[in-house]
């Protein structure tokens, strides 16, 4: 992590997965659990469609704006950089951040369109690194049963299959705490598994800090 390790630092958790895998559901459940437990916690998502760059991304996803693949890839990354400073400040101030999609989606979706994988990774290098990534996986049949795919770009079976393959690339999991979570189960069962993983990460973080003192 690039923001140091003060005694009060918050933790940074990211949810990843295909469309309709349950990221929003699970990330909001975790937020609710942590805030009820009295922790300072903030939920956010990418793309953040409310910023100027996010507005362009939203138009692109809703097919109202055409952009070259390379350009939109850079916009998704820039949309994270817009928030990087506030993420670091919140973590330093002791706030835990829960984020629905992050740079891993950026790479998987663009690589699925045929862009070079390491080229895709480059613009996100230097962003705050999460303490834990929960990757919700569901197989194609479960995804299809759940989905009510709309008109947004990428919301089709062919693209989802390509993204699924990219998410398996070990380069995404290198040097990060990545946890695969079976997203095809009951919501509460999934939540309980994520909650205990979060407590383990928190414990480890505290032990590491004590060792450093």
Residues found near ligand T5A in the complex (CB under 6 A): 17, 19-25, 46-47, 61, 76, 101, 105-106, 109, 146, 154, 187, 190
76 contact choice in Na ion, ligand T5A, none (CB below 5 to 8 Å, kind-dependent)? ligand T5A
Smallest gap from residue 24 Cβ to Na ion (A): 4
151-184 as b/e: b if 16+ CB within 10 A: eeebeeeebbebbbebbeeeebbeeebbbebebb
**What is the gyration radius of the CA atoms in the chain, in angstroms?**
17
> Which of these segments, 21-29, 69-77, 116-124, 174-182, binds Na ion (CB under 5 A)?
21-29
Smallest gap from residue 180 Cβ to ligand T5A (A): 15
**Using the rule CB under 5 A, is 25 a contact of Na ion?**
no
Smallest gap from residue 130 Cβ to ligand T5A (A): 13
Could you tell me which residues are beta bridge partners of residue 181?
136
Smallest gap from residue 42 Cβ to Na ion (A): 17
Closer to ligand T5A by Cβ: residue 105 or 121: 105
Q: Quick one: CA dihedral 61, 66, 68, 70, positive or negative?
A: negative
Element containing residue 16 per DSSP (H, E): strand 12-17
CA distance 19 to 40: 28
Footprint of Na ion on 169-198 (CB under 5 A): none
Smallest gap from residue 80 Cβ to ligand T5A (A): 7
CA distance 11 to 97: 6
- Kindly report whether the peptide bond that precedes residue 31 is cis, defined as omega within 30 degrees of 0: no
CB 191 within 8 A of CB 33: yes
- Count residues near Na ion (CB under 5 A): 1
**Using the rule CB under 5 A, is 51 a contact of Na ion?**
no
**Using the rule CB under 5 A, is 24 a contact of Na ion?**
yes
Q: Can you give the binding site for Na ion, defined by CB under 5 A?
A: 24
């Amino acid at each position: 992590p690039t923001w140091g390790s003060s005694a009060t630092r918050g933790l940074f958790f990211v949810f990843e997965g295909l469309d309709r895998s349950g990221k929003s559901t699970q990330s909001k459940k975790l937020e609710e659990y942590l805030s009820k437990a009295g922790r300072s916690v903030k939920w956010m998502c990418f793309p953040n469609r409310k910023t100027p760059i996010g507005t362009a991304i939203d138009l692109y996803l809703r097919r109202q704006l055409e952009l070259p693949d390379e350009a939109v890839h850079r916009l998704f990354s820039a949309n994270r950089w817009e928030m990087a400073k506030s993420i670091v400040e919140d973590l330093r101030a002791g706030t835990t951040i829960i984020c629905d999609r992050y740079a891993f989606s950026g790479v998987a979706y663009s690589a699925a369109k045929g862009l070079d994988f390491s080229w895709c990774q480059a613009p996100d290098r230097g962003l705050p690194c999460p303490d834990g990534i929960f990757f919700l996986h569901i197989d194609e049949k479960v995804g299809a049963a759940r989905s009510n795919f709309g008109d947004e770009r990428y919301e089709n079976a062919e693209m989802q299959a390509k993204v699924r393959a990219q998410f398996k690339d070990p380069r995404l999991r290198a040097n990060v705490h990545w946890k695969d979570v079976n997203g095809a189960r009951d919501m509460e069962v999934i939540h309980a598994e994520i909650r205990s993983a979060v407590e383990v990460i928190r414990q480890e973080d505290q032990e590491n800090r004590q060792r450093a003192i």
